[in-house]
Structure 1
Amino acid sequence: MTDQPRRHLLVVGAQCTAMGTLARLEEAAERLHAVLTDPVRGGCAARLGDNGSLLVSATLEPDDVRKAVHEAVHRAKADGAVLVVALLGHGFTPPQQTDLYFMVAGSTTTSIKSALNVRQLLADAVDEPGVEGVIALIDTCHAAGAAPDAGVLAGGVRAGRTRLSVLTASASDQAARGMRLTFALIDVLREGLNGAGTAVYADTRLTEELRGRIVGQVVGRFEYDNDPFALDGLWLARNVLSAPGVGGVVGPVGRQDLEEAVSMWRANMRLPVRLTRDELDELHVFAQQGRIEDTTDSGWHERVIDVVGTLVECARTVTILNTVLAEVVTSDLLREARRLSGLPHEAEGPELLRDLVEFAALRARSLNAPQWKAPARLLAALAHLSEAEGVTQRLRAWAQERGVVTTFNDALTEFSRRSRQGSLRLVLSLAGALTDWPEEIDAWLVGSGEKLPVHQRFRCGSADRLGVAAAMGTALTWARGRLPDPEELVNVDVAAPAHLLARWRPEEAKVGRHLLGAHNTVVVRWSGRMDPAEENAEMNDAARKALRVMEARGVVPVEWIDATVLGDRHGLEQSLMTGRYDTAVGIDHHPETLQDVLEDLLPYAPIILWPRPEARPGDGALRTLVQQHWHSLPAGFTPAYKQRWYPEHEGCGTCLGDVRAVWHDEPWLEFCRPFENRVVVGLEEEL
Structure 2
Amino acid sequence: MTGGLARHVLVIGAQCRAMGALTRLEQAACELHAVLTDPALGGCEARTGEYPSLLVNRELRPADVREAVVMAVRQAKADSAVLVVALLGHGFTSPQQTELYFMVSDSTTESVLSAVNVRQLLAEAADEAGVDGVIALVDTCHAAGAAPDAGRIAGGIRAGRTRLSVLTAAAADQAARNMRLTFALVEVLTEGLAGAGSEVFVDRMLTKELRERVSGQAIGRMELDNDPFALEGLWLARNRRYRSQRAADEVVGPLGRQELQQAVEMWRVQQHLPERLTRTALTELHDFVRTGQVEDKDETSADWRIRVGDVAGALVECAQTGELLSGVFATALTSDLLRAAGRLAGFPPEAEGAVPLRDLLEYAALRAQPVDGARWQGLARFMAAVEHQVDPGDESPQMREWARQHGVIPQFNDALAEFSQKRQRRGVRLVVSLVGAWTDWPEEVDTWLLLGQSAPPARERFICESADRIGVGKAIKAALDWARSRLPVPDPLMHVDVAAPAHLLAQWQPEEEKVGRYLLGTHHVVVARWSGRLDPSEDNAEINDAARKTLNAMASCGKVPVEWVGQAVLGDQPGLEDALVAGQYAAAVGLDHHPQDLPEILGLLLPYAPIILWPRADARPANGQVQTVVQQNWHHLPDGFADAYRSRWKGSHADCLVCLGDIRAVWHDEAWLDFCRPFENRIVAAPEEE
Following superposition, the deviation at residue 242 of structure 1 comes to 5.2
Contact 2:193 2:241 in 1 (8 A): no
Between the aligned partners of 2:242 and 2:599, the Cα distance in structure 1 is 45
SS in 2 for 1:519: coil
1:413 counterpart SS class: helix
Shift of 1:544: 3.0
1:458 aligned onto 2:462: yes
Partner of 2:250: 248
CA distance in 2: counterparts of 1:270 and 1:236, whole angstroms: 21
* The one of 281, 291, 300 aligned to 2:293: 291
| Distance of aligned partners of 1:596 and 1:325 in 2 relative to their CA distance in 1, 3 Å threshold | same
Distance 1:306 1:40, change over 3 A: farther
The residue aligned with 2:675 is 671
How much identity, in percent, do the aligned residues show? 55
Q: 2-side partners of 1:236 and 1:298: how far apart?
A: 37
Mapped to 1, the partners of 2:361 and 2:489 lie a distance apart of 36
* Matches of 2:531 and 2:363, distance apart in 1: 41
Provide the rounded CA distance (Å) in 1 between the counterparts of 2:279 and 2:396. Answer: 26
Residue aligning to 1:575: 579
| Equivalence map 1:15-26=2 (5 Å) | none
What's the secondary structure of 2:252's corresponding residue? coil
Cα distance in 1 for partners of 2:559, 2:303 equals 42
Q: Which amino acid aligns with 1:481?
A: S
Change (3 A) 1:604 1:341: closer
Q: Secondary structure at the match of 2:296?
A: coil
1:270 corresponds to:
272
For the residue of structure 1 that corresponds to 2:277, the secondary structure is coil
The answer for the alignment partner of 2:517 in structure 1 is 513
Residues 400 and 533 of structure 1, relative CA distance in 2, 3 Å threshold: same
Contact 2:349 2:560 in 1 (8 A): no
State whether residues 373 and 404 of structure 1, in contact with CA within 8 Å, keep that contact through their aligned partners in structure 2: yes
Deviates most, 445-454 or 480-489: 445-454
| C-alpha contact (below 8 Å) 2:336/2:556 kept by paired residues | no
Which letter does structure 1 place at the counterpart of 2:614?
A: W
How far apart, in 2, do the equivalents of 1:348 and 1:581 lie?
Answer: 23
User: What letter is aligned with 1:329?
Assistant: L
Per the alignment, residue 496 of structure 1 pairs with 500
1:583-632 Cα shifts (integer Å, max 9, x gaps): 43222211001111111222222222211122233333333333444344
Separation (CA, whole Å) in 2 of partners of 1:388 and 1:446: 19
Distance 1:427 1:195, change over 3 A: farther
Give the one of 331, 338, 354 matched to 2:358.
354
What is the root-mean-square deviation of aligned Cα atoms in Å?
3.6
Shift of 1:451: 4.1
The answer (yes or no) to whether the contact 1:196–1:239 under 8 Å persists in 2 is no
Q: How far did residue 335 of structure 1 move?
A: 1.8
Describe the superposition over 1:72-93 as per-residue Cα deviations: whole angstroms up to 9, x where unpaired. Answer: xxxxxxxxxxxxxxxxxxxxxx
Letter in 1 for 2:545: D
Query: Judging changes above 3 Å, is the alpha-carbon distance between structure 1 residues 388 and 419 closer, same or farther for their aligned structure 2 residues?
Result: closer
The answer to whether the Cα contact below 8 Å between 2:198 and 2:239 also exists between their aligned partners in 1 is no
**Which residue in 1 is equivalent to 2:341?**
337
Which amino acid in 2 is paired with 1:361? A
SS in 2 for 1:271: coil
Letter in 2 for 1:537: A
Q: Matched residues in 1 for 2:553 and 2:313: separation?
A: 41
Q: TM-score, normalised by structure 1?
A: 0.61
The residue aligned with 2:306 is 302
Q: Which has the larger radius of gyration?
A: 2
Shift of 1:198: 5.2
Q: Secondary structure at the match of 1:564?
A: helix
Q: CA deviation at 1:449?
A: 6.0
Which residue of 274, 297, 317 corresponds with 1:313? 317
Per-residue CA deviation, residues 188-236 of structure 1 (Å, 9 max, x unaligned), is xxxx99858659xxxxxxxxxxxxxxxxxxxxxxxxxxxxxxxx99999
Aligned-residue offset at 1:552: 4.8
Taking the TM superposition and a 5 Å limit, the aligned residue runs for 1:347-496 are 347-387=351-391, 392-448=396-452, 451-496=455-500
Name which structure has the greater RCO, CA cutoff 8 Å, separation 6+.
1
| Equivalent residue, structure 1, for 2:61 | none
Is the 8 Å Cα contact of residues 198 and 242 (structure 1) preserved in structure 2?
no
Deviation at 1:240, TM superposition (A): 5.8
Secondary structure at the aligned position of 1:408 is classed as helix
Aligned residue for 2:396, secondary structure, equals helix
Give a deviation string over 1:123-165, Cα, whole Å, max 9, x none: xxxxxxxxxxxxxxxxxxxxxxxxxxxxxxxxxxxxxxxxxxx
Name the CA shift for 1:262/1:198 in 2 (closer, same or farther; >3 Å). closer
Distance 2:305 2:262 in 1: 11
Q: Name whichever of 491-500 and 301-310 sits farther off.
A: 301-310
Secondary structure of the structure 2 residue equivalent to 1:239: helix
Distance in 1, matches of 2:615 and 2:361, equals 35
The number of equivalent residue pairs is: 463
Mind listing any 5+ residue stretches in structure 1 that lack a counterpart? 4-38, 42-191, 200-231, 680-687
Aligned-partner Cα distance in 2 for 1:509–1:193: 65
Distance 2:382 2:553 in 1: 27
- Once residues 648 and 387 of structure 2 are traced to their aligned partners in structure 1, the CA distance between those partners, rounded to angstroms, is 35
Separation (CA, whole Å) in 1 of partners of 2:358 and 2:403: 17
Q: Distance in 2 between matches of 1:390 and 1:515?
A: 39
Three-state SS of the structure 2 residue aligned to 1:647 is: coil
1:253–1:565 distance in 2 versus 1, CA, 3 Å: closer
Sort the Cα spacing of 1:520 and 1:196 in 2 relative to 1 into closer, same or farther, 3 A.
farther
| 1:250 and 1:275 in contact (8 A); partners too | yes
TM-score normalised by structure 2 residue count? 0.61
Deviation digits for residues 492-531 of structure 1 (CA, Å, limit 9, x no counterpart): 1110011110011112222233322233222111111111
Q: In structure 2, what is the equivalent of residue 101 of structure 1? A: none
